[in-house]
Chain A
Amino acid sequence: AQSVTQPDIHITVSEGASLELRCNYSYGATPYLFWYVQSPGQGLQLLLKYFSGDTLVQGIKGFEAEFKRSQSSFNLRKPSVHWSDAAEYFCAAATSGTYKYIFGTGTRLKVLA
């Protein structure tokens, strides 16, 4: 069955530290991959997406993600975290011919001042 896994439920980092959020997928073929961010009580905002080509993709708010086919991973990174980055982050995947995403269960990021 197709699935998206975010192994870390909670992550805490200090402001200014680097960040990496993990995402693994299980699909028959390489899906289209996305990262979304959700502030408390709000909807989700698209950070970045990967379709094909360059495996390092740049997004908004200084985030980037790297696609690694050999590891079935699409990890989200940021070199220096700001307090405003505290939120919940969701990885999602979709395949050709479908209108539906499969979402991971999310990683909640806490930033220490």
Chain B
Amino acid sequence: DGGITQSPKYLFRKEGQNVTLSCEQNLNHDAMYWYRQDPGQGLRLIYYSQIVNDFQKGDIAEGYSVSREKKESFPLTVTSAQKNPTAFYLCASSIQGARDYGYTFGSGTRLTVV
């Protein structure tokens, strides 16, 4: 079955560490997205990519980095510059034009700073 796989499901980070969250899709979708979810704040866009080797900052990109070397993969790195990284991170993908078909979401990664 096609879908989006996020790993790991739970991730713990020490102060000052960089960590990378994995997102892989086998839906042949062109566009991929990273959202951050905090209680009471809904979903906020971190980065998105419409095609391979191209990506754009979202609303809260500071302290994060991404790459899109393959169509199937869109990893997110949470750097030590992100001062409050504890959150639930959701990856999504869409056929070109999310407005037409909607997003397919992964099951998320919960990141906790220890």
Residues of A within 8 A of B (CB): 9, 31-32, 34, 36, 41-46, 49, 51, 90, 94-96, 98-101, 103-106
With A96-B99, A103-B42, A104-B42 already in contact, 9 other A-B pairs whose C-beta atoms are closer than 8 Å: A34-B102, A44-B103, A45-B105, A51-B99, A90-B42, A98-B99, A100-B48, A100-B58, A106-B42
Residues of B within 8 A of A (CB): 4, 6, 31, 33, 35, 40-43, 45, 48, 50, 58, 90, 92, 94, 96-100, 102-108, 110
Closest to B96 in A: A99
- If A41-B110, A43-B106, A45-B105 touch, does A94 touch B43 (CB 8 Å cutoff)? no
| A41–B37 CA distance with the chains assembled, in angstroms | 11
For the A-B complex, the count of residue pairs with Cβ-Cβ distances under 8 Å equals 66
| A90–B41 CA distance with the chains assembled, in angstroms | 11
Q: Which residues of A contact B104 (CB under 8 A)?
A: 46
Q: Is the CB of A46 within 8 A of B110?
A: no
| A98–B43 CA distance with the chains assembled, in angstroms | 17
Q: Is the CB of A49 within 8 A of B102?
A: yes
Q: Is the CB of B42 within 8 A of A99?
A: no
- If A41-B108, A100-B58 touch, does A105 touch B40 (CB 8 Å cutoff)? yes
